Amino acid sequence: MHGPQLLPPNQWPEADAVRELLQADLDRTLVNPPRLALFVQSSAMGAIVFIGASDYYYGSGGVWVDAQGRPRDGNLADLLAAELQDALADGMFGRHVSWPDCVLHGQPLRLDTTVDEAGLWVCESNSPHIVGRLGELSLFKTTHQ
């Protein structure tokens, strides 16, 4: 059995779209952001999508999907965002990074798709608030108000 392979272009456009939105947020809010890639491991039971960079992937999790690349449970953006956050926290890209953190409260944001299907980064501090939409995150806005 082969290990996870790079997800071929255009196989699962929805997954590619989520990756691009996460990349946009990374590029705007993290110094030396990794260049994200998606990997897929197919098996008789389905497929698992892993987040990674060009030549390695984060293997401590993954998202189970069906043949169309849709998660069995939950929302793909939620699940891939959480994978990316875990990968960064575990130091997959060389540094242990908590991302994205709320500038006001210093705690990690969580992607929420219950209110807006497109995904909102929310801070769950004692004063919960929305920080930005997926793909439009700009943490610096809050520091210059």
Q: CA angle, 143 as apex, 138 and 145 as ends, to 5°?
A: 100
Q: Does 21 bind Zn ion (CB under 5 A)?
A: no
Give the residue, chosen from 71, 104, 124, 142, that forms a contact with Zn ion under the rule CB under 5 A.
104
Hey, what are 139's tokens? 């943490």
Q: CB under 5 A: which stretch of 37-45, 78-86, 96-104, 110-118 binds Zn ion?
A: 96-104
* Ramachandran category for residue 91: left, alpha or beta (phi over 0 → left; psi -120 to 50 → alpha): left
Residue 134 to residue 145: CA distance in whole angstroms: 21
Using the minimum distance from each CB to Zn ion, give the nearer residue, 105 or 133: 105
Using the minimum distance from each CB to Zn ion, give the nearer residue, 118 or 130: 130
Q: Does 139 bind Zn ion (CB under 5 A)?
A: no
Q: Does 103 bind Zn ion (CB under 5 A)?
A: no
Other beta carbons within 10 angstroms of residue 144's beta carbon come to 7
Q: Which residues bind Zn ion (CB under 5 A)?
A: 102, 104-105, 123, 125
